[in-house]
Structures are given as C-alpha cells and as structure tokens.
Structure 1
Amino acid sequence: MDQNRNYRGRSEFKPYPIRNPEEPGGNFRSLNENDTVGPPPSYAPYLASDTDILKAAEIMTTYIYGESSNDNDKEIQCDLLTEDGGHEIDPTRLSYKERIRWHLKEFCYKTSSHGIPMLGQAPNTAYRIVWILLLSGCAFTFVYQAIAVVDKYYRMDKITDIQLKFDTAPFPAITLCNLNPYRDSKIRDEESINKILSVFKKMMKKAAGAADLEELEHAVEEGKFSLKLNRKRRETESKGSFEPANSVCNCEDDECEADAPKIPTDSDQMCICAFDRLTHDAWPCHPRELWLNTTCQHCDDHKFCQKRSKTGERHNAPCLCEKGESFCMMYDRVAKILNLWEFFGSSFDYNAEVSDEETEALGFGNMTDEVAIVTKAKENIIFAMSALSEQQRRAMSQAKHNLIHKCSFNGKPCDIDKDFAIISDPTFGNCFTFNYNRSDFKSSLRAGPMYGLRVMLFVNASDYLPTSEAVGVRLTIHDKDEFPFPDTFGYSAPTGYISSFGMRMKKMSRLPAPYGDCIAEGATSNYVYKGYTYSTEGCYRTCFQQLIIDRCGCGDPRFPSIGHHQHCQVFNKEHRKKAHGHASLIGALGLTVTPTCFTRTALNTNRPCIMGLAPYEFKQVGVTDGSNGPISVAWLRPFFHHDNTHPSFPGTCLEQSTHELGDIHGSFKCRCQQPCNQTIYTMSYSEAIWPSQSLNITLGTCEEEPEICNEQYQENAAMLEVFYEALNFETLTESEAYGVVKMLADFGGQLGLWSGVSFMTCCEFVCLGCELLYMVIMHHWKKYKFKKHEEDNNFQ
C-alpha cells in the first residue's frame, strides 16, 4: 500500500497505529500528543500487506463501533478489511439492505448458471449491458419454448399400438334365435294377440290391391302368407303319402269333414283324418273311436295299407284302419300324431272384436304399405307380450331342444342342456347362448369350421306367426360379459343352407381421462342390462328408456324397464297415445288459423303449456287482438299437421318422443362413451345349399324317404358354422404420446440450451429465494419486536 494514499478524501498523512511491544498481546494503540509524528519506527509495518491483517481484524471486531477512540481508527479498520480480498465477511454484522446486496452478489459469483457470473464480474457498464441483453434474450426464448412444451403435454396426445399376436384366442359367446319370436299355436289363445292379428288381417286385406286379393285370400286360408317359401312342389301326385292327423271336424253320423286350421276347444270336436302333406287333402275323416289300431300285412310307398295282402308279400306293419277295414294307412305308434292346426300354423282366422279405441291405440291409422303394416304389427306384439310374465313368454316361444337338435364344438358333441343358456329378447323371444359361463374358458384348437361351433337348428316354419316375414335363425357373436343385442348386431341365416361365419378378433384398450373419454370398467349406475358389462349400445338404450319414462310415464317394451316403472300397455291410450291436443294447438284453444277474436292476455296465459309441446314445429300464426287488431304471435305454433279426414288426430307419446329425439345415438341428451376395454369380432360370411342329396340324417320324427326328409330340412332347418379364420388376433392399445417424463426431459433440455441450468442450479435459486425470504421475515419480525418493546417501555 502507498503511504501517501489519501484516506476518505483527506490530504494529510495519517500514520498507522503504533504497536507497543511492551503491552500484553502487542495491542495497537492510538497516537497521542506526546508521540512523534514522522516516519514509523523500524519495528512498525509500513504497508497493510506487511501487517498481520487477520490478527488486526480479529482485534478490531472485539470492539463495538462506539469504542473507537477517534475516527481515524474506524477508517483504518474498514480499510484493512477491504484490502483483504481473501477475508470472508460475516454477513450477520451487516445492515439489512447490505446483507441482501451481499447475498445477491455472492450468488452471482458462485452460481453454476451460465451468464450470471459474467454479469456479476463485468468490469464496466458496456459489458453489463451486453450480458443483460444476452440473458434476457435467452430467458425469453426459454419461456417461449417452455410454453410450447407445456402446451404439448396438456394436449394429452395418444398413440395407438397395433400388434398381431399369434396365440390362442378365446372363443366368444354365440347367441342363437329363431326369426319367429313366438309359436303361433301357443300364442293365438292370448286375447291381446288375437286382437292385434285381427286388425292386422283387416289392414293387410285393405292394403292388398284388387288384382292380388284372391291370391292373398288363398294364402290366408292356408296360413302361409308370411311363410310362402315358393318351393317347387312335387310334380306328380303319385309321390304323395298318407299319415294320420288330428283335426277339428264337422261330423254327420260317421262321416266327418275336416276344419283343419281351426284350433279345437273341446276334445269332442276332434277326429282323425288321413292327411297328405303334398296336396293338403284330409280325407277320409272319422271320429277317433271308429279308427282301429291294428297290423296290416302290406303297405305301399304311399303308406296306403291293406289288412290282407293280395300279392302274397307280408310286412306286418302297424296301421290304422277305418271301421269295415275299407281304408288303412301306416301308423307309427311311437311317433306323435300330427295336429293339423299346428301344421297349417296361423290361418289368419282371427275375428276377435276390437273396439275403435283399441284399433286407434294400435297405431295402424291409414297405412296402405304392407311392409309398414307388418312392422307396426310386430311392434304391437312386443307391447302385448311385455304385459305377460317372463315365464309365460318363455312358454310361448320355442324351447331349447325344439330349436337346437345337433351341436359340436372342437369336433366333439355339445351338451345342449349345459352349454346353452336361455335369454329372453323382446324381438326374437327365446334365444340361447353358447359359451355363456364366464368361468369356463373355451378356445378353438385350430382354425377352420371343423374346430369351431357347428349346430343344426330346426325352426318349425309351419308354426310361424303371420308377422314373421322370413324363415331362418338369428346369430349374434359377442363377448360373454356383454348383452348380445340380436336385433342390432345379429346376422340372419336362412333355412336350407349351411351358413359359415368366419371370425377375426380385435382387442381394444383405450386410455381413460384425461387422455380419452371411456368408461374404465363395469357399468354405469343406471344401466338397465343388469349382470352385464357396460356397452355403448346398452348406454344409449338406457338413456332413451329414461327419456321415454320421463315423458310418457311408462317404458318402451323393447328395452328393460327402469326401477318400478311399467312398460307402456298396448291398448292404453294414456301410455301409447298421450293426447296433447286436437289437430293443432289452435283447435285446442278454440281458435282457427284464420284471424279470430282472442285477446293477447288469454293467449299468454296458455303460453307455458303451449311452449312445452311439439318443440319441433315452429310457425307464425295470425291472431286477432280484440283491442289492437291483427297481430303476429311468433311463438304460437300448431302441434300437428291438420288432416281433413282426421280432425281430431292425437299425437302418440312414444312415436312423438322417438320422432323428436330422432337418432338417439346422435342426440345431445344421450352421452355414451366407449368402454376402455372392448373385444370386437369382424365377420366374413359364406353359404351353400344344405342338405345335399347324399346326406341321410334323422331329425325329429321324419322317417320318410331321404329326398322327402331333405325337403323338410330345407324348409325348416339350418346348419351354422362359427369358427376362427386364423389363430391370431389384433390388439389395439392406446398409450400416452407425451407423458410427464418426456415433458421434464424437454423442459430440462431447453433450460440447459438457453440458460445452462440444471436441476442443481434450480436448487441454488430455490435456496437463494429461501434465504432472502428468511431475511425479510426476520427483519420485519425483529422490527416488530423492537417496536413493541419500545411501546411497552413508554407505557411503563
């Protein structure tokens, strides 16, 4: 240090304090008047660098600020501390603002962040400006990139991974239904069904043109209107055969005339006839007691028998002979005798009395289209059957063993009783599900039809309802945890063909919120298909049923009911046809479309009721105000289109609600998400004529010639094959495209690129913030305590 250095702007020379070696510790002392002012003695240091600065600093810190003997000592102490660049200052002895400044400067020197130390050590203002601009630009760029990274994360993007797995795929559940929901011979005794089919018969006759009316009546009499198979009958009568058959007869003495389609109400009305399936001739007919159960020596190919053989050939076949043995026919004592009313099925002989109110409730109106009439009749039957118990409905539909005759899986016979479970469907009646047991895992050993499900079904077309338009079976392939919904997702297979359904399975795994919008597992709380897992179709039906119940007070019979609510009744106008008014709201209020006298006050009084009805029709109507003349009331609109032939046409609740809701799948009122885990089966279909002429199988009681039995199979039976086309399946798995780990990695990369900051650097900033926060809190806390202490002293 230069001894000529001016201190604190003063020009006079101030010598350093003299060290007295005689004093204990060699302490410094201040100059006094008796000391000689001049060059320091030989034992005193001339420069601060030659002085034991650390010792001097230690001595100086032992005295408080006010103990210095003069100002010179204080300046010397500060200068000594300043000159020692290696000395660490105790920040606790600094003032509040100096401590904050000291901490910030120390952080600038020591931080591992790039750029900040350069700013702190900048030698001049120009350097500081340059580094401030660089740091600001990098900080702005980092913030911009960080926002982009965070925005990318919150988009919740996802990717779909598609894999083809070569493994054994679980075999799905297969639900089989007859296209005819209920047996005509069982259901015709139900009064409501009789009424519906009576109206149906009248509507079909009315819709039929004059040209084909005669043909329609012929079909009605035979009971084959909806079952006309248009198959070529045998060309010659020589191929016909006789068999005994029960029928309702009109008898005079011993001779009877068959009334084949009529259902017997009393056993006394019945007789036995020789019936020919080819010509539908029933003759001769006699009371039961006049037929003798005996043995005939000879019977020909037509099952016409002779008590005594004239040719010498003796077969000794069981037969039935009329009294006098003039006519005999072969008779199988084990087989059940044919009932002609069951053979002819529905004869359209429905003549039940139906009131005008009931006819109106059925909703046929002025329909002239046969397809629309059949559709409405099917709907009415569903409504009528919903009023019966499930046990009654099952008894009227086809039984398990009547429908399923032969079955094999993986080349081995099925146990029809154990492998099939019954499901009641409003549209198809009794349906039967194969592989329904959720704890029993079934899989195909190989690909191809031989290692899948093969089943032969007998639909008994002669017992079809007149509303059944097609003959065959309905097949639905689904996961065993889901309800099958055969009316929506099923496939129809015709009789007389072997239908092959090749399957391929896909497994979907979707991400739940926030990445997706799916139902994680199970079912929603109000799901109407109890015992089954959630599906989108079931959700829509649940929502639609709830909307119908809210509007009409009863449920749609096509879906399960909710809670204690009942299904809408078929003949109940308050349920099915909830009348909201006349042909239009104008008529309901006593107005006309033309201007009339109706005050605005009275009109507005009815506004809440008016606005709550028929929201799908808007129309301005001119109305005369008694005081202000003609006005235009925009919110007043008719409910329904006025029909001159039906001036009082009520609106149906179910039909109106369905019309307003439109496609319930697209309705904003029904929000149904996809399930997170779903199994999807795609199908390929092929068919071939079945059975072949060389096939000789037995089914039911058919003991005719093979070609005759084959014809019966072609009209009444179907063969189904359901199998995997290949032993592999696809998996589609959704996963997050940009998760937290990737976001943090990109965030750290941006920090390192633009600021040279790592995680440890972030910790440094956190520590600095904590230190400064602590200093501020403690400063204000001490200030508060000091102020409170002074107030207490002043109070005392």
Structure 2
Amino acid sequence: MSFLVSQILNRFQLNVFDTQRGRAKRATRVRRDADKKPAKHKVIYKPVYARCLCSEQAAECVPFLTAPEVKETLCICYYDIYTRTAWPCYSEKNWRSEWCSHCNFDGYCSAAITDQYNLSHTPSEPCICNGFTSHCLATRNETFGSMWTNSLKPKEWYPYVTTPPPSEPPPITEPAAEVTEDPTYLEAMGFEGVTDDIAKAGIAQENTLFIMANLSDEVKTKLSYGKQEFIQQCSFNGRQCNVESYVDFKIHIDPVFGNCYKFNADVTHKRSTTRAGPMYGLSLVVYVDVDDYLPTTKAAGVRVAVHPQEEYPFPDTFGYNAPTGLQSSFGIRLKKIERLPQPYGDCIREGKTEDYIYRDYVYTLEGCYRSCFQHTLIEKCGCGDPRFPVPVGQQHCRVDDGFASNSLSELPSLIDLTRPSSLTLRFIGSCLQNATREVGGLHGHFTSHCVCQQPCT
C-alpha cells in the first residue's frame, strides 16, 4: 500500500513540478506515521546549529550528533524545546536574517517585511527565513544553540524516522543511475498526457481513495488526526465539553475526509440548549496542521455537516467549509416536513431494503441514490466505488489486482499480481470511468431507473 501511495504522490508532484518549473519551487511532503500517537504540548521552536550532510538534489539536510570539523558544512534546524526534536534542517547558506512583522509564542513568524516603508513604520522582530518553507523563526537576538552540546542533544529525532541519525556522515558514493519508470504504469495511473494541475490533483486524489478503501478501519484511524490532537477546545451551552468522552464525540471514518467526529451522536444522551446564539451553541477550536497536508489538498480548513442522529452524514454533499485563520459561525434552524403516503403522495414510511448500503442508519433519499449508483457499478465492473460502502460479499475496486472484472477471463491470464499491473489499472480505471460516464455520475440520468422515494418523515 505504501508503495502505491508513494508512486501516486511522487508522480503527481513530478508532473506539477515539470509544468511549474521556473515560476514556483517544488514542495515536498513527508507522510504521517500511522503509529504516531497524538500528543498535546506547547510547541516552541528555536533555531539551532547542527553538523549536516546536505545534497544538491534535496532541500533538507541530514543532521548528525557529533561536532563539526573545521570548515565543515553546518545547517540550521527547527528545534522543539519541549519534545527536544530537531526537524527539518536546511543548509546555513539557505537561511537569511530578516525582520518579521509578527512572531507567535511558538517561535513561528510571519513572512519577512520586504518593503522599506513598512519596515520603518511597522513593529517588527528579528527573524531568520529560508526559501523552502513558509515559516520564519524568531531569533529574539539570542545566540543559536548547537546540537552537539549536551544541553540541546535531542531525546528523539523527527518521529517519521525509525532510527536516530548516525554519529558520522556516510561515505560519499557515486550517484545511482537514473531509474526510468514504466510508461504504461504512468498511463495506468492516469497522468499520461495530462497538463492541467487541477486535473492532476483530481487524478491523484481518486487513486488515493482506491488505496485507502481497502485498508482496515484501524489503519485508517491511525492515518488521520486523533480526537485529542484535533479538538483543542470545546464548549456547548456555555459549559466545557468532555473531548475524551465517547458520549460527547464519536468517531466517524469518512472515505474522503478521514477521521470525523460527531457531537451529540448518542441517541441515549441527547444534548440540547434552550437559548440561541454562539455562546450557547457548540463552539470549537480545532488544530489544523497545514504542513502535514497531502500535496493534492486544494484548501486548508475543516468540513462541518449538521445531520439527524440516526442519519448517515454526507459531508461531501451537504457539508460547509470552515477555513483556517478565520472564525466561522453557522446558524441553523430546524425545518421538519411530514409527507402523506398513498393516496395523497408517493412517500414511504420505511424505504430501507437489503440493497441499502448504509445498513446501520435510517433510509434517506441521498443514501438510496448512492446505493443504486453503487449497485450499478458493481454490476458493470465487478467491484464498488471506494467512496461508498459495498453490499455484503462485495469488494471495493482496487488498484493492485484484477478484481474490476465480472470475469477474470476478460483479462489476460498472465498478470503479475505481486505489483500493480498497468493493464489491470487501465482496465479498472476505464471500466469505472466509462460506467460513471454512462450513468451520468452520482446524480445523473441513471436515477430515473432507481426506485428512490422521499421518506414520509
């Protein structure tokens, strides 16, 4: 799975970099460790020196614990004084002294002031900046520490690295020969011939959804934010919430947004308020780590959806965006509609059948259309869309096997299933793409063949 994800994201980044070369620098993204435990602590960064090995091909440097030799390359690292963690590190020559308009308590500063007038008329603080990240570091006119001194020696290094850095630099070796990628494999991933960056991001997101759909719920949970890590502060009806309680917040794994947390989800412990206004509603302060986003993410923020307790939430269709850096407020008003069945109308009191894929939730019109859409794709391709649940006994379409065929005889007999087959990928992609185009998408003309009626209540 990690091989597939890295292939998709690497190909996406390389394609975007090729089209933007000369007008933007390539951004790198380090994946989250699935076993990383959420930690709550104040993060205060300061710049420190380290002995490093820097490569011309990579922006980041590899730090070492030993003191540098005379005239040896030094780098400056972001150093967390609470966890005593140093990462990332960049060559000293890539840092520059600047004046920043605002520096937070955590040591991060806003972009440097470049206009001479603003520099003279705006309160500023000394900082250092580099060309690879958007965060400058406050210096506060202090002398930088060094990693080879006992006072700053880290108890742990960057948590995505499984072993501590070596005490000595590795020997210099000849650069490895350039590895050429299979063009049919790139074509199978969908990037071949695509030049638009937005289209590339959509393709990469779609491929990632296929991979994530086949992971267990336990692994999916670890790959996203934990409850205590995500929800920093909470109050309802003027009183503090219990974030750690299962009663107040229940996890919901969404195929698109990952870990979501439902407030007031327990029907046996309903929360209610009798007064209107933001003071008496649900107020949250959430942590959004933009630096940890995938390169395919188009915007930073959170998704908010309001739904009845017994209904399945559809945040991708009925949700609202709350961007970072702003205070978002949502006012809601309950409107309850009760329809009359035959002979006055065609609503149904209980519409959930064996074909309804959201088995643990009550019937809704949106759920009915998605169930019909999923059954249509399974009938045509032999596997389901990874965005939706599948009926009992069925599987989601994968990118690493030939399961997307009603009959494996439709595929050539010699397919190496030990690595993603480009032929299989093309078959899966073309089948789903053609089937989706044929039915007109999730809310396309296929709905005329679905028996989906409005619920009476």
Query: What band does the TM-score fall into relative to the shorter chain?
Result: 0.5 to 0.7
Pairwise CA distance, 1:271: 10
Cα-to-partner distance string for 1:18-77 (whole Å, 9 max, x where unaligned): xxxxxxxxxxxxxxxxxxxxxxxxxxxxxxxxxxxxxxxxxxxxxxxxxxxxxxxxxxxx
Pairwise CA distance, 1:356: 3.6
In 2, Cα distance between the equivalents of 1:200 and 1:381?
11
1:249 aligns with 2:29: no
Correspondence 1:433-472 to 2 at 5 A: 433-472=262-301
In 2, Cα distance between the equivalents of 1:430 and 1:399?
8
Alignment counterpart, residue 654 of structure 1, candidates 432, 439, 457: 432
Q: Secondary structure at the match of 1:545?
A: helix
Q: Provide the residue aligned with 1:410 in structure 2.
A: 237
In 1, Cα distance between the equivalents of 2:236 and 2:48?
37
Q: Provide the residue aligned with 2:200 in structure 1.
A: 373
**Match for 1:220: what amino acid?**
A
User: 1:411–1:451: 8 Å Cα contact kept in structure 2?
Assistant: yes
Q: Provide the residue aligned with 1:108 in structure 2.
A: none
1:548 aligns with 2:373: no
Q: Secondary structure at the match of 1:405?
A: strand
Q: Provide the residue aligned with 2:143 in structure 1.
A: 304
Pairwise CA distance, 1:578: 10
Structure 1 residues 511 and 277: CA distance shift in structure 2, 3 A: same
Q: Provide the residue aligned with 2:26 in structure 1.
A: 219
Q: Provide the residue aligned with 2:317 in structure 1.
A: 488
**Match for 1:485: what amino acid?**
F
Q: Provide the residue aligned with 1:195 in structure 2.
A: 7
In 2, Cα distance between the equivalents of 1:520 and 1:271?
58
User: 2:76–2:89: 8 Å Cα contact kept in structure 1?
Assistant: no
In 1, Cα distance between the equivalents of 2:276 and 2:160?
45
In 2, Cα distance between the equivalents of 1:271 and 1:201?
20
User: 1:409–1:452: 8 Å Cα contact kept in structure 2?
Assistant: yes
User: 1:545–1:555: 8 Å Cα contact kept in structure 2?
Assistant: yes
User: 2:17–2:26: 8 Å Cα contact kept in structure 1?
Assistant: no
Structure 1 residues 364 and 574: CA distance shift in structure 2, 3 A: farther
Pairwise CA distance, 1:425: 0.7
1:358 aligns with 2:185: yes
User: 1:570–1:576: 8 Å Cα contact kept in structure 2?
Assistant: no
Q: Provide the residue aligned with 2:212 in structure 1.
A: 385
In 2, Cα distance between the equivalents of 1:438 and 1:303?
56
Pairwise CA distance, 1:214: 2.4
Q: Provide the residue aligned with 2:119 in structure 1.
A: none
Alignment counterpart, residue 395 of structure 1, candidates 212, 222, 231: 222
1:672 aligns with 2:452: yes
Cα-to-partner distance string for 1:523-550 (whole Å, 9 max, x where unaligned): 2222111211111111111111111111
How many residues are paired up? 350
Pairwise CA distance, 1:281: 5.5
TM-score of the superposition, structure 2-length normalised? 0.67
Pairwise CA distance, 1:510: 0.7
**Match for 1:656: what amino acid?**
N
Pairwise CA distance, 1:242: 2.5
In 2, Cα distance between the equivalents of 1:191 and 1:257?
33
User: 2:213–2:386: 8 Å Cα contact kept in structure 1?
Assistant: yes
Q: Provide the residue aligned with 2:172 in structure 1.
A: none
**Match for 2:202: what amino acid?**
T
In 2, Cα distance between the equivalents of 1:535 and 1:367?
38
User: 2:49–2:147: 8 Å Cα contact kept in structure 1?
Assistant: no
**Match for 1:242: what amino acid?**
P
Alignment counterpart, residue 527 of structure 1, candidates 356, 367, 371: 356
User: 1:250–1:259: 8 Å Cα contact kept in structure 2?
Assistant: no
User: 2:303–2:320: 8 Å Cα contact kept in structure 1?
Assistant: yes
Structure 1 residues 363 and 579: CA distance shift in structure 2, 3 A: farther
User: 1:474–1:490: 8 Å Cα contact kept in structure 2?
Assistant: yes
User: 2:236–2:282: 8 Å Cα contact kept in structure 1?
Assistant: yes
In 2, Cα distance between the equivalents of 1:481 and 1:277?
43
User: 1:241–1:301: 8 Å Cα contact kept in structure 2?
Assistant: no
Pairwise CA distance, 1:372: 1.1
Pairwise CA distance, 1:361: 2.6
Q: Secondary structure at the match of 1:417?
A: coil
Correspondence 1:315-714 to 2 at 5 A: 355-418=182-245, 419-521=248-350, 523-572=352-401, 575=404, 652-665=430-443, 666-667=445-446, 668-677=448-457
Structure with larger Rg: 1
Correspondence 1:65-76 to 2 at 5 A: none
In 1, Cα distance between the equivalents of 2:350 and 2:283?
33
In 1, Cα distance between the equivalents of 2:280 and 2:149?
58
User: 2:210–2:386: 8 Å Cα contact kept in structure 1?
Assistant: yes
User: 1:249–1:270: 8 Å Cα contact kept in structure 2?
Assistant: no
Pairwise CA distance, 1:670: 1.6
Cα-to-partner distance string for 1:585-611 (whole Å, 9 max, x where unaligned): xxxxxxxxxxxxxxxxxxxxxxxxxxx
Q: Secondary structure at the match of 2:380?
A: helix
User: 1:361–1:577: 8 Å Cα contact kept in structure 2?
Assistant: no
**Match for 2:432: what amino acid?**
L
Q: Provide the residue aligned with 1:695 in structure 2.
A: none
User: 1:244–1:338: 8 Å Cα contact kept in structure 2?
Assistant: no
Q: Give the number of the structure whose residues are more often helix, by fraction.
A: 1
Higher relative contact order (CA 8 A, sep 6+): 1
Pairwise CA distance, 1:579: 12
Pairwise CA distance, 1:277: 5.1
In 2, Cα distance between the equivalents of 1:257 and 1:385?
40
* RMSD of aligned residue pairs (Cα, Å): 4.0
Q: Provide the residue aligned with 1:186 in structure 2.
A: none
Structure 1 runs not aligned, ≥5 long: 1-188, 224-239, 262-268, 283-298, 306-319, 342-350, 582-648, 678-796
Structure 1 residues 660 and 340: CA distance shift in structure 2, 3 A: closer
Structure 1 residues 365 and 519: CA distance shift in structure 2, 3 A: farther
Q: Secondary structure at the match of 2:232?
A: strand
In 2, Cα distance between the equivalents of 1:416 and 1:494?
22
User: 2:213–2:396: 8 Å Cα contact kept in structure 1?
Assistant: yes
TM-score of the superposition, structure 1-length normalised? 0.40
In 2, Cα distance between the equivalents of 1:202 and 1:489?
34
Cα-to-partner distance string for 1:495-520 (whole Å, 9 max, x where unaligned): 11110001111001111223222220
